Amino acid sequence: MMDEEAARRLVYGAIDIVNRQLPAAKRLQKAPETIIVGEGGALDSLGVVNFVIAVEEEFADATGAAVQLLAENMLGDGSPFRTVGSLARYIAARPA
């Protein structure tokens, strides 16, 4: 298990990666309330794919374990990817 603060830093690492491909005005803020997926989010479908895969790779780097997050049911209603904070909590709750 990873603590929530470490999980949030991991998500921030993924934000650094996807922000390079976003215009300055649309870049994701490194804050728990930042919306990632769904209404109000700044990422288009390519951005979401890049972000989720970036999170998977950050997770693997941090824990040495693989995680599969890119799935339809991960991105719909109630998705843990809704905000930075919800994603950090989801990651922190996962066994490494």
Partner 1 sequence: MATAPDRLYFVADFNIEPLARELANTTRPGLETAIAPPGPVMAALAAGPPAADWSAVVWTRPEAISEAFARARAFERIDHDQAIDDVKAYAAAIGRFAARARSVFVPAWVQPPFARGWGMLDHRPGIGATDLLARMNVALADALVGAPSVFVLDAGRWLASAGVRGWSQKLWHAAKCPFGPAVIELAAADIAAALDGVGGRARRLVILDLDDVLWGGLVGEVGWSGLTLGGHDHVGEAFADFQRALKALTARGVQLAIVSKNDEAAALEAIDRHPEMLLRRGDFAAWRINWDDKAQNVANVLAEVNLGAESAVFIDDSEAERARVRDAVPGILVPDWPSDPARFREALESLRCFDAPVQTAEDRARAGMIADERSRRTALAAADNLDDWLRSLEIAITVEALAPANLDRAAQLFNKTNQMNASTRRLSAGELAAWAAAPAHCLLTFRVRDRFGDYGLTGIVGLELAGSRARLSDFLLSCRVMGRHVEDAMLHVAAAHARARQVSTLVVEVVPTARNKPCLDFFLGSGLRETRHHVFEWDLSQPYARPDFVAVADHARVAASSDP
Residue ranges binding partner 1 (CB under 8 A): 17, 20-24, 46, 49-50, 53-54, 56-57, 70
Q: Which two tokens stand for residue 25?
A: 């005005």
CB distance 75 to 81 below 8 Å = yes
Least distance CB 4 / partner 1 (angstroms): 25
Beta carbon of residue 40, minimum distance to partner 1 (angstroms, whole number) = 20
CA distance 7 to 21: 23
Kindly report the backbone phi and psi dihedral angles of residue 35, in degrees, each rounded to the nearest multiple of 5, phi listed first: -80, 135
Nearer to partner 1, 33 or 66 (CB): 66
Closest approach of partner 1 to the CB of residue 52, in Å? 8
